[in-house]
Amino acid sequence: MSVQGIVTAMIIIGVIGCLIGFLLCFASEAFKVEVDPKEEAVLGELPGNNCGGCGYPGCSGLAAAIAKGEAPVNQCPVGGAPVAAKIGAIMGVDAGDAVRMMAYVRCIGDCEKAKQNYNYTGVEDCGAMMFVPGSGPKACSYGCMGYGSCVKACPFDAIHVVNGIAVVDKEACKACGKCVDACPKGLIELIPYEAKEVVSCRNKDRGKAVIDACAVGCIGCGLCEKNCPKDAVHVVDGIAHIDQDKCIGCSICAQKCPKKVITILRKPGAPKKKPA
């Protein structure tokens, strides 16, 4: 190829490149989507975990919803009250008093307390275990299987399997709800961080059937309900439930429980830890 041919080719390529660049610049201006400055400001305050705990597809989705007035400024469970206050200032509204939440596994039937019907060897996944006999080797078909689907789902390393049951680190938990969705037995629920007492059992069987399955199963005897001075405990479908809004943390229900299934999370007068 002659020198003239090479130069001509270079000129043609250069012209094509410039033309493409011009067209790209024109398209970016002609088809650009205007972004609300408030949306960008809100997104800048969100933690950026993109966990989905707010119910939106990542932090950008929540920021857009807040900017449009479709979501409250305190919708982010990870950021909590501090982030809510900053976003509230951007949007010109009061963030209100955001209640810090945490995940709690309502089962304390560990390897020593829960009985086993058989030895299991196979895929260690809670969802898969729902298709094996008895929903797993544990005699209690309602209890934690301990195969860690919730552990895998948690983006904050706040839940681990200890001695056969999942346990939540309340300080690391951001209440995103991923573990709640991951548990096929519905054992994990979000409760107030300042909750004082909680019933650590979901077994809906009665009396002897519960006792035969686990040493710490709720038998629905109603002693907790009868002795609660604030009417905060009620037995529904064979299981005791505590109304956290009424509970004063007197621990009478825990003391009266013959199976010791009511866990004391925080004693009256105990100092409150500052939110993370």
The pLDDT assigned to 181 comes to: 93
User: 108, exposed or middle or buried, with CB in 10 Å at 0-12, 13-18, 19+?
Assistant: buried
Task: Please give the average pLDDT of every successive group of 10 residues along the chain, which has 276 residues.
Answer: 75 85 74 74 90 87 91 89 90 82 95 92 88 89 94 95 96 92 94 94 91 94 95 94 94 95 78 50
Q: Alpha carbon 276 to chain centroid distance?
A: 16
Give me the architecture of the 195-267 domain, per CATH. Answer: 2-Layer Sandwich (3.30)
The pLDDT assigned to 270 comes to: 52
CATH code assigned to 101-194: 3.30.70.20
Q: Which contacts of 81-88 are long-range, i.e. CB under 8 A and separated by 24 or more positions?
A: 81/275, 82/275, 83/45, 83/46, 83/47, 86/45, 87/42, 87/45, 87/46
The pLDDT assigned to 146 comes to: 93
Specify the CATH class of 37-91 in words: mainly alpha
The pLDDT assigned to 275 comes to: 45
At 58, which amino acid appears?
G
Torsion angle of the four alpha carbons 44, 46, 49, 54, in this order, in degrees rounded to the nearest 10: -140
Give the other-Cβ count within 10 Å of 35's Cβ: 12
CA–CA distance, 35 with 57 (Å, rounded to integer): 17
Domain boundaries, the chain: 37-91, 101-194, 195-267
The pLDDT assigned to 169 comes to: 96
The pLDDT assigned to 263 comes to: 95
Domains 101-194 and 195-267 fall in the same CATH topology: yes
The pLDDT assigned to 276 comes to: 45
CA–CA distance, 64 with 55 (Å, rounded to integer): 13
Angle at 50 between CA 48 and CA 56, to 5 degrees: 120
Residue from 172, 171, 129, 138 nearest 154 by CA: 172
Task: Indicate the average pLDDT of the chain.
Answer: 88
User: 156, exposed or middle or buried, with CB in 10 Å at 0-12, 13-18, 19+?
Assistant: middle
The pLDDT assigned to 13 comes to: 86
CA–CA distance, 7 with 28 (Å, rounded to integer): 32
pLDDT tens per residue, range 234-253: 999 999 999 999 999 999 99
The pLDDT assigned to 102 comes to: 94
